[in-house]
Amino acid sequence: MSVSISSLRLAVQHVSFVVLTFGGHFNIFLGSSLPCLSCPFVGSCGGGCYLMAWQRAMSWLFPPLVEALTGVGSWARAWSTLNFFLSGFVVFALLVIVLGKSWCGWVCPFGVVQDYLARLRRLLGLREAEMSERVKAGVSNVKYVLLAYLTLMPVLYSFGWLSRDFVLSFCNICPAKIIMPLATLDYNRLGLPVLSSSPRAVFALILLAVTGGMVAAMFFKDRFFCLVCPMLAMINIFRRLHLLRLVKDVGSCRGCGSCRRTCAMDNQTIYRERESARPHDPDCLGCFSCAEGCSTEGSLGVRLGPLNLFGSTPVHAIGRLTGGKK
Ligand code: SF4
Ligand code: SF4
Ligand code: SF4
């Protein structure tokens, strides 16, 4: 009996969701360098989203280095600061290199929440909103702007140009900060200081507006948040090193478009690729639905380093295509 990619993925997503959002109740904590939105604002989270650790690191990393370079501070302090930063970053990089984009398609708890919103829409018989390729390409660039924003703001704080409220600049406006505690009924760390002094109140109001808009967007468009998620931008930085990846035998591809139709992100790159055996789309989530939906023997596959884990077959595709997007 063979297990389909979609059922295996569903099982892994649910196990990850339980471990990453309720693991704290069982003393599970997988570190603070996870390449997915496993949000520490959920009191019982079983591992921390690296975006939070990255923002914190940016708020203390540079001043000791600048001080050492200008002779004001010691190199010993600069090196120990750098070492501390690298200990978290190297773990993040290794996790990304091994699992690649599948952190998004298979592990991320916020991805699971988005998938449930899309399921609810389908259950209600509502059609998915359409987005032209041009609009999608524009929206997709937002993730890089957000990555620059969440890096720069804490750096400016570290040199005294902004207040402490800007350290977690992205968390302050990240919809997962509200949605994940609500989805897991764990509100202990959820604070919305709308009545406090600026800029905390401004951040709280922006967060409420972003979350409301994002819930609607994620309901009408599959994985809309993923399109703008700065974690995906960080994962993309290592794209040439990802061990778990999609492969394409461009010679056998018939151009039928099944891969395009099964993709939750409406990615076109895998379908259009006619040269490289390692197609890459900046919005790909590594879910491998396209490989499962491809009806040509061996045209699309999944590899972990040199190991072939899956190759497309007509049999898998029949099961997948009758289910449409999942
Ligand atoms: S891109 Fe989507 S799945 Fe990936 S980390 Fe962001 S929210 Fe999670
Ligand atoms: S608020 Fe968002 S960015 Fe911050 S830790 Fe939570 S999921 Fe990550
Ligand atoms: S291109 Fe394939 S692996 Fe990437 S998100 Fe779309 S269906 Fe999933």
Digit-coded pLDDT (tens) for 79-106: 999 999 999 999 999 999 999 999 999 9
Looking at residue 199, what is its pLDDT? Answer: 85
Averaged pLDDT for residues 142-153: 98
Residue 11 CA, chain-centre distance (Å), reads: 18
Atom of ligand 1 lying closest to residue 35 CA? 5
Residue owning the nearest CA to atom 8 of ligand 3: 287
Looking at residue 62, what is its pLDDT? Answer: 98
Best residue among 38, 52, 151, 179 to mutate for probing ligand 2's pocket (most ligand atoms within 8 Å of CB) is 52
DSSP string, 221-267: STTHHHHH-HHHHHHHHTGGG-SEEEEE-TTT-----HHHHH-TT--
In this model, does residue 1 exceed pLDDT 80? no
What rounded mean pLDDT belongs to the chain? 94
68 CB neighbour count, 10 Å cutoff: 18
Percentage of the chain surpassing pLDDT 70?
Answer: 96
Q: Specify whether the CB–CB gap between 189 and 181 falls below 8 A.
A: yes
Best CA proximity match to 39, nearest among 97, 111, 96: 111
Looking at residue 164, what is its pLDDT? Answer: 95
Q: Does the beta carbon of 99 lie inside 6 Å of ligand 1?
A: no
Residue 1 CA, chain-centre distance (Å), reads: 32
What's at 301, amino acid-wise? G
Q: Give the pTM.
A: 0.95
Best residue among 107, 265, 302 to mutate for probing ligand 3's pocket (most ligand atoms within 8 Å of CB) is 265
Looking at residue 21, what is its pLDDT? Answer: 96
Q: Specify whether the CB–CB gap between 67 and 78 falls below 8 A.
A: yes
Residue owning the nearest CA to atom 1 of ligand 1: 226
In this model, does residue 263 exceed pLDDT 70? yes
Best residue among 99, 229, 263, 316 to mutate for probing ligand 3's pocket (most ligand atoms within 8 Å of CB) is 263
Distance CA 310, CA 304 (A): 10
For residue 169, what are the contacts with CB-CB under 8 A and spacing of at least 6? 55, 149, 150, 153, 154
